[in-house]
A and B are shown apart, each in its own frame.
Chain A
């Protein structure tokens, strides 16, 4: 089965610019997660979707970050405007409705550099 796909793999932007990341989960996976991983740290959950609804966005900086999963399949994460501290790897993960709670599959991530 194909894994979680993310694009782009790398992105370099200047501060105050906008950027968007795309994630296509494993087919049939109802739950989708976006994590932020700053260099030297563990991933931090930004937002969790169940189908097209938000389950948990308590750690999402809503003044500049937004995410959507309109059709309950692929998802986009946007940052507008970007700050230097947003430089990180953005990981997408998905989970099957039939799998155990532990079955999160991660994509390769998008490495964002804000200059």
Chain B
């Protein structure tokens, strides 16, 4: 059974700081890994998706890396802003799973202080 863990559970940083969020998964046989953002009272917004054959993906100030063999991914946020405050969720999709079931981690709650 796939288990996804995210560290830290919560993080508070001053504006402008670069930061790294960590995600680990127990079963390395994944199809892809996805990072989401969740704002209070709202649904999930997809940030980045990394296919199992890829090492990293970048979008603006966000960079996600994947080390499939060690079961790890990181989300790097450069020059953080107060608007980045949200919960960040990591999710993996198994290669053998029909459809597109996602297994989520518990999330990292990020607060960026002005």
A residues engaging B (CB < 8 A)? 4, 31, 40-45, 48, 50, 55-56, 91, 93, 95, 101-109, 111
Contact = CB atoms under 8 A, between A and B. Distances in A.
Contacts, number: 62
A4 B44 CA distance: 11
Interface residues of B, number: 24
Interface of B: 4, 31-32, 34, 41-46, 49, 89, 91, 93, 97-102, 104-107
Contacts of A103: 46
7 contacts: A31-B100, A40-B107, A42-B106, A43-B89, A56-B98, A102-B32, A104-B46
A48 B99 CA distance: 8
Contacts of B105: 42
A108 B106 contact: no
A100 B6 CA distance: 25
Given A101-B31, A102-B34, A42 B4 contact: yes
